[in-house]
Amino acid sequence: MMINKEIAYTKLVDKRKSYIFPEGLLNPSKVLNGIYDEDNQIGPWSKWQGNLEVDMMLIGQDWGTVNFFIETKGGPQDDSQTNRNLRKLFSIIDIDVGYPNNPNKYVPVFFTNVILGLKVGAMADSVKASWLRNDAETFLKPTINIIQPKMIITLGKKAYDALAIIYKLKKSPLKNLVENNPIKLPDGKLLFAVYHCGRLGIASRNFELQKKDWKKINEYYP
C-alpha cells in the first residue's frame, strides 16, 4: 500500500472526526465521548471493509440515528438483514466479505456511506438534499479520489444521487438506472446503481431480482 494513500486517508478521517455537520446531524465522535469512533475509519461501515487497495467501492446512504449508532456500538452487526443479504450478493461475484465481527480483510472492497453524520431525530426522518450535497463534496469525493476504485456500487437512490452530484450525472429513476447498468463515469470508472438490500429496498425490488442485478456486475468483475 502506498504510504501517501494511508496518510491522505488518515487526514480525511481526522477531518471527519473534527467536522461540524449541518443542523440535524451529529458527528459520531461526539457520541458518548467518541467511544465508538476510535478506529481510523471514515465511517462505521468501513469498519467491516476498509481496505484502501481495492478495485470496488460500495456506497450506501447513511448510518441512521444517534440512538442506532449507540445500539450497534458504532459498527455493523452480523445479524442485520442488510448485512446478511450483502454477503449473499457479494458471493455472486465470488467475493467473501466475511462477517462484520469477523471480516475478510483481504477482499478488494471498501464500504462507506455518503452521509457520515448521524441523524439526531428518528430513523424515518427524511434525508435533506443539503446533507447529501455537503457530504458528497466534503467526504465522498475525496474518499473516491484516495482509493481510486475501478468499480463503484451505489446502494439505493440517494447513494446514486451523491455520485450524480460528484460526476454531474443526470438524475433518473432507480429502476431505469438498474436496467441500464453499468454507467461509465467521466474518469473511466464503472458505476452500478442497485437497490438497497434491506427491508425497504426489498419491498421495492424483491431479493431474487436484486440477485439478477448483481449477476450483471459479475460480468464486469474482475
Whole-number Å distance between alpha carbons of 154 and 169? 14
Cell of 37: 469512533
Q: Is residue 36 part of a domain?
A: no
Q: Considering the domain boundaries, does residue 89 fall inside one?
A: yes
In a domain, 34, yes or no: no
d(CA 168, CA 17): 28
142 domain residue, yes or no = yes
37 assigned to some structural domain = no
- Could you give the CA distance from residue 156 to residue 39 in angstroms, rounded to a whole number? 26
pTM above 0.85, yes or no: yes
- Per-residue confidence (pLDDT) for residue 123, from 0 to 100: 86
Those residues with Cβ within 8 angstroms of residue 212's Cβ, 6 or more apart along the chain or in another chain? none
Q: Is 11 part of a structural domain of the chain?
A: yes
Residue 186: asked if its preceding bond is cis (omega within 30°), the reply is no
Length of the chain measured in residues: 222
Q: Give a yes or no: residue 38 inside a domain.
A: no
Domain range for 88: 3-29+44-220
Q: What is the Cα–Cα distance from 185 to 168, expressed in whole angstroms?
A: 10
Each residue's pLDDT tens digit in the chain (222 positions)?
A: 456 999 999 999 999 999 999 999 999 999 999 999 999 999 999 999 999 999 999 999 999 999 999 999 999 999 999 999 999 999 999 999 999 999 999 999 999 999 999 999 888 888 999 999 999 999 999 999 999 999 999 999 999 999 999 999 998 999 999 999 999 999 999 999 999 999 999 999 999 999 999 999 999 987
Residue 208's pLDDT is what?
Answer: 98
Identify the three-state secondary structure at position 161.
helix
Tell me which residue of 50, 206, 20, 3 sits closest to 116, measured CA to CA.
20
Say if 39 falls within a structural domain. Answer: no
| Residue 118 CB partners (closer than 8 Å, separation 6+) | 25, 26, 27, 28, 31, 62, 63, 64, 65, 66, 68, 69
Question: What is the number of alpha carbons within 13 Å of residue 204 lying toward its C-beta?
Answer: 14
pLDDT of residue 168: 97
Cα angle at 165 between 144 and 108, to 5 degrees? 25
The structural domain count of the chain equals 1
pLDDT for 160 equals 98
CATH of residue 147: 3.40.470.10
Q: What is the pLDDT of residue 124?
A: 81
